Amino acid sequence: MSQITLKHLKYFEALAHHGHFGRAADVCSISQPALSVQMKELEQILGAPLVERSTRKIRLTRLGEEFAIRAREVLRSVDELSDLARASRNELSGPFRIGIIPTIAPYLLPAFVKRLSKHHPDLDPHPREAVTQRLIDDLLDGRLDAAIVALPVSEASLTEVALFDEDFVLVRPLADADKPVPSSDKLREMRLLLLEEGHCFRDQAISYCNLSSSLPRDLMEASSLSTLVQMVGAGIGVTLIPEMAVPIETRSAAVSVARLPKPQPSRTIGMVWRNTNPLADHLTGIAELFRDVGTSQAKSFNNPVADRARHHDH
């Protein structure tokens, strides 16, 4: 009788995660027919179906749902065995799967990867950009080694290391540059542009403006900070962005930037990983590298903001 292999588990876990034979096959770097053969073989070994197949998508059977949970646990344990061996070496090597949220990635990820490659030349970074909840799910399932997010994530099985704090700034049309900076109460009365649901930065902006119970009907949303800033430049409304985004996102938009009155809205950037990860000591050092990048970049972020409303080149 054939035995279940790690290859079976890997392919099934990908299929369960993506819910689609084509996408799972791409992730596993095999053809869709080959994946289908492997899944039929696994079902024959088990003597019961794991998925219900249709033309558009697949649905896990009850056995499939339970099997997917156990498969993830096995694969995560196998990964941690490999990490245990990696942790015993003086120098890190091999793939490093790190997630990062979209309101940080464009501004710090390039410098971080460069710094990481300098300090750990044998490490192969595999960055992935996604919203916080998706990164946390992937961490817990063993698809990521660590993630850069806004804290807290409040997940007992994850270690959180705070790296640095960052203020939010107000972005207004250039014509509003000389107007008084509105308080959070006044912002509630203005047309505030926000990121779409799923972004933690949206929730932080809503919390600062105390909008959680009464979002305006004409609320406008976007999937990126870049779109928000360009919409402000078009005179559609105002928005909040993290200070690290100012140099990149405002350089080609007719906007002014102002600091908000105290207490200023802010966020804490940190790195998280599984408590059981054998690479914990190495990850602490990598977190320090990211802290260095964030704090050194912050020096350049701080300078232009105060004068941005008065000196805007167009």
Whether 113 is in a domain gets the answer yes
157 and 287 belong to one structural domain: yes
67 Cβ contact list (under 8 Å, min separation 6) = 12, 46, 50
Does 62 share its domain with 97? Answer: no
- Residue 266: other Cβ atoms inside 10 A: 15
131-167 core/surface letters (b: 16 or more CB in 10 A; e: else): bbebbbebbebbbbbbbbbbbebeeeebbebebbebb
Q: What is the pLDDT along the chain (314 residues), one digit of tens a residue?
A: 578 998 999 899 889 888 888 888 898 889 989 999 999 999 999 989 999 887 667 889 999 999 998 998 888 888 877 777 776 766 778 889 999 999 999 999 999 999 999 999 989 999 999 999 999 999 988 889 999 999 999 899 999 999 999 999 999 999 999 999 988 888 878 888 989 888 888 888 888 877 765 565 556 788 899 999 999 999 999 999 999 999 999 998 999 999 988 888 899 999 999 998 888 888 999 999 999 999 987 766 555 444 444 334 43
- Check which CATH number belongs to the domain holding 14 and give it: 1.10.10.10
Q: How far, rounded to the nearest angstrom, does the alpha carbon of residue 290 sit from its chain's CA centroid?
A: 15
Is residue 1 in a domain? Answer: no
Q: Domain of residue 226: give its range.
A: 92-314
Q: What is the pTM of this model?
A: 0.75
The confidence score (pLDDT) of residue 305 equals: 47
CATH number at residue 239: 3.40.190.290
Q: Among 66, 84, 102, give the residue marking a domain's end.
A: 84
Tokens for 250, please give them: 């405002």
- Whether 119 and 19 share a structural domain: no
Number of separate domains in the chain: 2
Structure-token match 């990121």, residue found: 195
Q: Are residues 168 and 98 in the same domain?
A: yes
Is 249 inside a domain boundary? yes
Task: Report yes or no on 79 lying in a domain.
Answer: yes
Find the helix or strand (DSSP H, E) in which 297 lies: helix 280-307
Angle between helix 32-46 and 6-18 (nearest 10): 110
The domain boundary, picked from 84, 108, 143, lies at: 84
Kindly state whether residues 98 and 117 are assigned to the same domain.
yes
Residue 122 lies in a domain: yes
Measured CA to CA in angstroms, residue 64 lies from 9, 137, 200, 236 at distances of: 12, 19, 32, 48
* 130/225 same-domain check: yes
Same domain, 242 and 309: yes
> Are both 160 and 262 inside the same structural domain?
yes
Tell me the C-alpha distance between 228 and 211, whole Å.
18
What CA–CA distances, in Å, run from 45 to 21, 36, 50, 119?
20, 14, 11, 46
Shared-domain flag, residues 32 and 181: no
pLDDT at 218: 59
Pair 146, 21 in one domain: no
30 located within any domain: yes
What is the reported pLDDT for 206?
83
- Do residue 219 and residue 168 come from a single domain? yes
Whether residue 111 is found in the same domain as residue 44? no
